[in-house]
Chain A
Amino acid sequence: MSNDANNELWRRFAIAAPYLWLLVFFLAPFAIILKISLADPILAQPPYSPAFASDGTPSMSLGNYSFLLSDDLYAISYLRSVTMAAATTLLCLLLGFPMAYGIARSPAATRNMLLLLVVLPFWISFLLRVYAWMGLLNNHGAINNLLLWVGLIDAPLQIMYTDFATAIGLVYSYLPFMILPLYASLERLDMDLVEAAQDLGASRTRAFWDITWPLAKAGTIAGCLLVFIPAMGEYVIPYLLGGPDSLFIGRVLFDEFFLNRDWPLASAVAIILLMLLVVPIVLLQRAQARDEEPAA
């Protein structure tokens, strides 16, 4: 076999194998969710009506979607999820930006160490990290004990099972996703430029907006989207820290599926969540594609 033919064969194989895997296990499932979201729940295995009746006529309806729109519970859950994800993103940015900046500006030897310390918790089970917060935040936990002992409060504060606890858990879990892309773009910043601008009389704020910000923008956008998108569908953190009554859409989907065994309705919830996320996901793809271009 000639070199060229061999080369072509290898290229085709290297593209086709991951391509096919993703088509089957990532893309095809969305078509199936869409199909099942149009079915009715029935008592059977699997618990949804077939897309075509026995005489071959299609039996699909938008019933699940009109139900989702008619019951306020779902609208409230979507809204609460958007608000919580946005608040998490903002808090991660407020804490993550100065941290990423500080890491990027520190001497080379400490820089790697600081970066490693940001990533290290990420390697420890996510579930166990959320669990650690349960121990700190509950009414007999370390934080309440400390506050009582210092005398700042007379009775334990109810922190656990509130939206505040959920927000702490979310910020804690997603902070590295904010810091890493921010660090990557701030690392390229030439400090001499900032100092030159200040020497030439630019105020600190002016130097920030004219020099630091244009470089940091790409990392900021990527970091915010990397936090916002997965936080929208978070299930475990609201469940464990927010308590049994905290209504977020990931939780609603999970419960519709596992507790009510209403697979079609859970699918419809997923489709609407996906539609809400299409714009942020496309923005993230574009930010990453732009990041790829100059180097390639």
Chain B
Amino acid sequence: MRRRSRFILSALAFGYAFLYIPLISVVIYSFNDSSLSAVWGGFSTRWYSELFRNTQVLDALFLSVKIAVTSATLATILGTMAGLALARFGRFKGRTFFSGMISSPMVMPEVITGLSLLLLFVTLQQLTGWPGQRGFSTITIAHTTFSMAYVAIIVQSRLVAMDESLEEAAMDLGGRPLRVVFDITLPLIAPAMIAGWLLAFTLSLDDLVIASFVSGPGSTTLPMLIFSKVKLGVSPDINALASIIIAAVSLGVVVAWIAMRRNAKPS
């Protein structure tokens, strides 16, 4: 056992270093006073104050958050229904096709999803006049479509792992099916729905390629803005932005970790 575990340990050490060194370097560079990444110009927080004065960044952030909240909520509603259908409704007509259609958007290359949705919106506009302008609504629909798959799969696997006896007992006691869903099933799968919502929210905030295809003039999301800056090379205020996001995510994870431990203790 010994010799193998040394190999495994070095793989783990290398793997985690690989995952974290870039993130740490961005945080360090964000405090570099010099605008060139090659030289260390001393400690400074000027890129942070420059970032907060940049209204373009703040506008793009606002649009991105608005899209992420809306699409994550829609994706959670539709994805939960799909997860319930796959895990609880037994075999129904077209089930295989349905489950295939749910999981395909997850792996579909973004350029294909983006192009196909844009062409759909253009065709719809020719036929019906909607959507008159591409932007918030079209990006939200696109994000809902690919992130509902993730919610569906999280909810489905939670339902499969959970036994049906509680729901069956409630039904046997005369509970109306919809009441059983809302009073028993939904509270039980709430953690999966929250996890799904958070994942959908992150995926939406993260997306650049699909949004570039389906957005219109005047609708620039945060990733689109970052990409237009980063294309030109390393830019120090982006280091500051990245560091803020890294700090926020790490904080969120630490809080979730503590909450999970506290929940786990009594049992």
Q: Which residues of A contact B (CB under 8 A)?
A: 3, 6-7, 10-11, 13-15, 17-19, 21-30, 32-33, 36, 46, 95-96, 98-99, 101-103, 105, 112-114, 116-118, 120-129, 131-136, 138, 140-142, 145, 172, 175, 204, 225-226, 229-230, 232-236, 239-240, 250, 253-254, 257-258, 263, 266-267, 270, 273-274, 277, 281, 284-285, 288-289, 292, 295-296
Contacts and interface: CB of A to CB of B under 8 A. Distances in A.
Nearest to B235: A131
B200 interface: no
A33 B116 contact: yes
A93 B103 CA distance: 22
Interface of B: 4, 7-9, 11-12, 14-16, 18-23, 25-26, 29, 36-38, 78-79, 81-82, 84-85, 87, 89, 92, 94, 96, 98-105, 107-112, 115-117, 119-120, 122-123, 126, 141-142, 144-145, 148, 152, 160-161, 176-178, 181, 202, 205-206, 208-209, 212-213, 223, 226-227, 230-231, 233-234, 238-239, 241-242, 245-246, 249-250, 252-253, 257, 260
Residue among A26, A46, A95 with the most chain B CB within 10 A? A26
Q: Which 10 A-B pairs have the closest CB atoms?
A: A233-B109, A140-B38, A29-B116, A98-B11, A132-B22, A18-B82, A7-B177, A102-B8, A128-B242, A29-B120
B102 A15 contact: no
Contact of B23 (A11, A132, A226, A229): A132
Given A25-B145, A284-B107, A127 B81 contact: no
Contact of B38 (A145, A172, A239, A270): A145
Contact of B115 (A99, A240, A253): A253
Given A46-B122, A131-B238, A296-B160, A117 B117 contact: no
Nearest to B112: A270
Nearest to A198: B1
A36 B120 CA distance: 11
28 contacts: A3-B176, A10-B178, A14-B81, A15-B98, A18-B85, A21-B78, A26-B101, A28-B120, A33-B119, A46-B126, A99-B11, A99-B12, A102-B12, A112-B260, A123-B202, A123-B252, A124-B249, A125-B223, A128-B226, A135-B25, A138-B37, A234-B109, A235-B111, A240-B230, A274-B112, A284-B103, A288-B103, A292-B160
A14 B104 contact: no
